Amino acid sequence: MARILVGVDLGGTNVRVGAVTPAGELLDWKISPIEAANGPQAGVAKIAGMIEALLGSLPPAELAGIGIGSTGPIDRGRGAIQNPYTLPSWVDVDIASPLSARFAAPVILENDADAAAFGEAWAGAGRGMRRMAMVTVGTGIGTALILDGKIYRGMDGIHPEGGHMLIDPAGPECYCGAHGCWESLVAGPGIARLASAGAAKEGGAMLEMADGDPARVDARILVRAARQKDPTAVRAAEQVAFYLGLGLANIILLTLPDGIVLGGGVMAEYDLFAPGVRAVLDRHNSMVPASRVQILTAQLAGKSGVLGAARAALSELEEHN
Ligand SMILES: [Zn+2]
C-alpha cells in the first residue's frame, strides 16, 4: 500500500488539512474555520473529523504520520499547544495524543512559521537553497531558518521569535511588553496604523477608499492606493519598506542565507516594497554581500503550512528509522 502523510495547518482563524505523498505532492486538502472560542476539545475533534473525511475520500493508503503546524507558542516535545493569544482558552492542550490514538500514527507538532518554511524549502520558492530564511507577515511576523533541510531550533527545541527583534526602541508598545518590535511596526496591524495615521493627517485616496474613516484604512487599502500613486499611500508604503528592510537586514547580517522567502497576504504585493527594501539592504553590502541574498515571495500560498507540516512528520520518521 502507498504511504501517505497528513499535514495540518492550525491558525487562529482557519485550520487546513492536507494529504501529502512522501515525494511532496499534495493530493487533496480541506479548509474550515477553527472557531477557537468553542474550546480546544471541539477544535481537536473538528481536526480529527477533517482528517477522517480527507482520508476517506482518497484511495486506501498507509498513514505514515501526521504533522501539525500550529500558531505558537507550542510545547513541541509534549505535543501540546500553549496559545491563549491567538487560540483563546487553548492552554496546555495535548493535541498529539488524541490524534495519535485515533489514527494509530505518530503525530509531530511544529510551530507554524517553521512548518511554512519547511513547506517552501521542500516544494516551493526555497527549493535548492542550503540556507533559507522565511518571514511570514500576517497578524504578527513569523520567522524561521532552514539549514541543510533541517529546521534551526533554539534551546530545548524552542522556536526563536524573530518577529520580536528590536527595530525601534522608541516605537510602539508590543503585546509582548517590549517597544518597537519588528512585528509591532510592520505586521498587518502595524501597517494599518502607519497607513491610517497618514490618511488621517493628509486625506487622499486611502481615506476615500475607507469611506472617510481613517480607522478603516488597512494594509489592503494602502497597497491599492499606493499602486494608484496616491502620494500619502506611497509615503506610507516607503515607511513599511524601510521597517521591513531593517528586519531583513538584521536576518541577513546574522545568518547570510542564500535566500529569504516572504509569506503572508501583504507580501504577495512585495514588488511594491522591493525598491525600498533593496535600498536598506544596499547599505549593508560592505560587511556581507547583502544584495546577493535572493528575496522571493512564497510560491505555495495557503498550502505551505500543510505541506511543511507533512514534511516535518516525514523528517521525524526518517530520523527515528
Ligand atoms: Zn514584541
192 C-alpha to ligand 1 centroid (Å): 17
81 C-alpha to ligand 1 centroid (Å): 20
The predicted structure's pLDDT at residue 158? 87
Distance CA 298, CA 105 (A): 30
243 C-alpha to ligand 1 centroid (Å): 15
**Residue pLDDT, tens place only, 147-206:** 999 999 999 888 999 999 999 999 999 989 999 999 999 999 999 999 999 999 999 999
157 C-alpha to ligand 1 centroid (Å): 20
27 C-alpha to ligand 1 centroid (Å): 38
Provide, rounded to the nearest whole percent, the portion of the chain with pLDDT above 70: 100
What is the identity of the amino acid at 214?
P
The predicted structure's pLDDT at residue 6? 98
The predicted structure's pLDDT at residue 13? 86
146: its cell numbers: 532552514
Query: Which stretches of the chain are DSSP H helices?
Result: 40-56, 96-103, 112-123, 182-186, 188-202, 205-209, 219-227, 231-255, 270-282, 304-320
Strand pairing report for 62-70 and 26-33: unpaired
Distance CA 24, CA 311 (A): 8
188 C-alpha to ligand 1 centroid (Å): 14
What is the identity of the amino acid at 22?
P
295 C-alpha to ligand 1 centroid (Å): 24
Below-70 pLDDT ranges, the chain: 321
| Cβ proximity of 95 and 83 under 8 Å | no
125 C-alpha to ligand 1 centroid (Å): 28
76 C-alpha to ligand 1 centroid (Å): 22
The predicted structure's pLDDT at residue 88? 84
The predicted structure's pLDDT at residue 151? 93
Strand pairing report for 294-297 and 259-263: parallel
140 C-alpha to ligand 1 centroid (Å): 9
The predicted structure's pLDDT at residue 321? 67
Distance CA 124, CA 130 (A): 14
152 C-alpha to ligand 1 centroid (Å): 21
Distance CA 265, CA 297 (A): 10
32 C-alpha to ligand 1 centroid (Å): 29
CA 112 to each of CA 2, 9, 178: distance values in angstroms, whole numbers, following the listed order: 27, 7, 23
37 C-alpha to ligand 1 centroid (Å): 24
55 C-alpha to ligand 1 centroid (Å): 39
The predicted structure's pLDDT at residue 265? 87
Tell me which DSSP letter residue 30 carries.
E
Distance CA 138, CA 47 (A): 23
CA 59 to each of CA 99, 105, 202: distance values in angstroms, whole numbers, following the listed order: 21, 18, 59
| Cβ proximity of 234 and 108 under 8 Å | no
Distance CA 156, CA 199 (A): 45
171 C-alpha to ligand 1 centroid (Å): 11
176 C-alpha to ligand 1 centroid (Å): 4
The predicted structure's pLDDT at residue 16? 97
175 C-alpha to ligand 1 centroid (Å): 6
204 C-alpha to ligand 1 centroid (Å): 31
